[in-house]
């Protein structure tokens, strides 16, 4: 059980604009995953303290049930695309992402993930490729765009490549501090920073320790050095993997760890007073349903109707300047549009 952040002391005026946006994506997080986390944490999460709530439809351009590539691309670009596509439309044309737009406006940008940083969701914010499996191609985009901080796995896609390029060395030549351990990233004082903390994916929780909340807090701290503001996307990748495995314990462990990262984002927003925090999902995984639970023990009983994604709507939570715009029922593409609107871009 972890404590939750008290948000009662901060109430920005309606219509106010944030300087910074932190978007947290619980990959595979539907309402059952969320409520399992609420139960396991004895009745409350950081997420549930956030006052503005909505729901989004997640279908892709060509399927009722989206994958993470199309789901991430919708959130990142405001356009539906086909399953498997990253940062391109249904015809394969490049679509600007919210990260790229923020960078073009002089803001700092960052990505954090518990998967390889080249995996579908983080890739959707920086890369433009027809296939989510093109990990080495995706990695090249991190050397060519103005991203300031990224933390995740996927070191092999940068350093043990078929084309012989060593992208970590290329990043170093561009001024990046490139590290292979979270502790080294925590010691960083300036951007740009690349933390490639695993060869491929990062270990599941609790084996990986406090990586996700610490990486979230550190990324926000580093990015806030830019007076113009920043955009940060944080993904709790492995809620999805627990759903694919129909493993309720895996889901709950990852859900609680993701919520601790949300807590770090909310703590930053409370201190900063100019940060919008948005929490959502790309899709639900496992068609999970809760058939029993106990708030006193934190135990839940779950059943799964699938080992894949489902087509159900997923929740949105928001806190901070502009948060009221995220209420209601809408398409996942509107997350991108609402972020642009609150920034006035």
Which residues are the active-site residues?
68
Q: Identify whether the C-beta of residue 132 lies closer than 8 Å to the C-beta of residue 84.
A: yes
Q: Identify whether the C-beta of residue 193 lies closer than 8 Å to the C-beta of residue 179.
A: yes
CA pair distance 319, 285, nearest whole angstrom: 25
Strands (E), 124-261: 149-153, 177-179, 193-196, 230-236
CA pair distance 56, 343, nearest whole angstrom: 21
| Nearest of 252, 236, 235, 241 to residue 307 by alpha carbon | 241
Give the three-state DSSP class for 46: coil
Sign of CA dihedral 259, 239, 337, 133: positive
Q: Identify whether the C-beta of residue 208 lies closer than 8 Å to the C-beta of residue 114.
A: yes
CA pair distance 275, 229, nearest whole angstrom: 9
Strands 299-304, 288-294: pairing is antiparallel
CA distances from 102 to 22, 24, 118, 125, 339 (A): 12, 16, 20, 11, 10
Q: Identify whether the C-beta of residue 239 lies closer than 8 Å to the C-beta of residue 283.
A: no
Query: Counting runs of H as helices and runs of E as strands, what totals does the chain give?
Result: 12, 14
Q: How many CB atoms lie within 10 A of CB 104?
A: 12
């Amino acid at each position: 059980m972890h404590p939750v952040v008290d948000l009662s002391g901060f109430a920005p005026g309606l219509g106010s604009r944030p300087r910074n946006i932190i978007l947290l994506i619980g990959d595979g997080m539907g309402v059952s995953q969320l409520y399992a986390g609420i139960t396991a944490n004895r009745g409350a999460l950081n997420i549930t303290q956030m006052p503005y709530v909505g729901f989004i439809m997640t279908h892709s351009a060509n399927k009722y049930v989206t994958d993470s590539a199309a789901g991430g691309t919708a959130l990142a670009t405001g356009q539906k695309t086909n399953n498997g596509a990253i940062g391109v439309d249904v015809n394969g044309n490049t679509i600007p992402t919210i990260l790229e737009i923020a960078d073009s406006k002089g803001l700092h940008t960052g990505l954090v993930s518990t998967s390889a940083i080249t995996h579908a969701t983080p890739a959707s914010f920086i890369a433009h490729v027809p296939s989510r499996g093109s990990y080495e191609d995706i990695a090249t985009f991190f050397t060519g765009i103005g991203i300031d901080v990224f933390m995740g796995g996927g070191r092999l896609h940068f350093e043990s490549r078929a084309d012989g390029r060593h992208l970590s060395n290329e990043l170093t030549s561009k001024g990046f501090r490139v590290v292979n351990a979270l502790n080294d990233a925590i010691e960083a004082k300036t951007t740009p920073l690349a933390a490639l903390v695993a060869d491929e994916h990062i270990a599941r929780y609790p084996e990986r320790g406090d990586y996700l909340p610490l990486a979230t807090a550190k990324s926000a701290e580093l990015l806030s050095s830019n007076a113009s503001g920043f955009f940060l996307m944080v993904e709790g990748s492995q809620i999805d993997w627990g759903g694919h495995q129909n493993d309720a314990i895996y889901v709950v462990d990852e859900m609680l760890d993701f919520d601790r990262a949300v807590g770090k984002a909310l703590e930053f927003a409370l201190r900063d007073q100019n940060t919008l925090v948005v929490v959502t999902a790309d899709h639900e995984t496992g068609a999970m349903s809760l058939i029993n639970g106990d708030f006193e023990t934190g135990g839940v009983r779950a059943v799964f109707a699938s080992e894949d994604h489902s087509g159900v709507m997923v929740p949105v939570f928001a806190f901070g300047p502009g948060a009221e715009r995220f209420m209601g029922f809408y398409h996942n593409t509107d997350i991108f549009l609402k972020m642009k609107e609150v920034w006035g871009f």
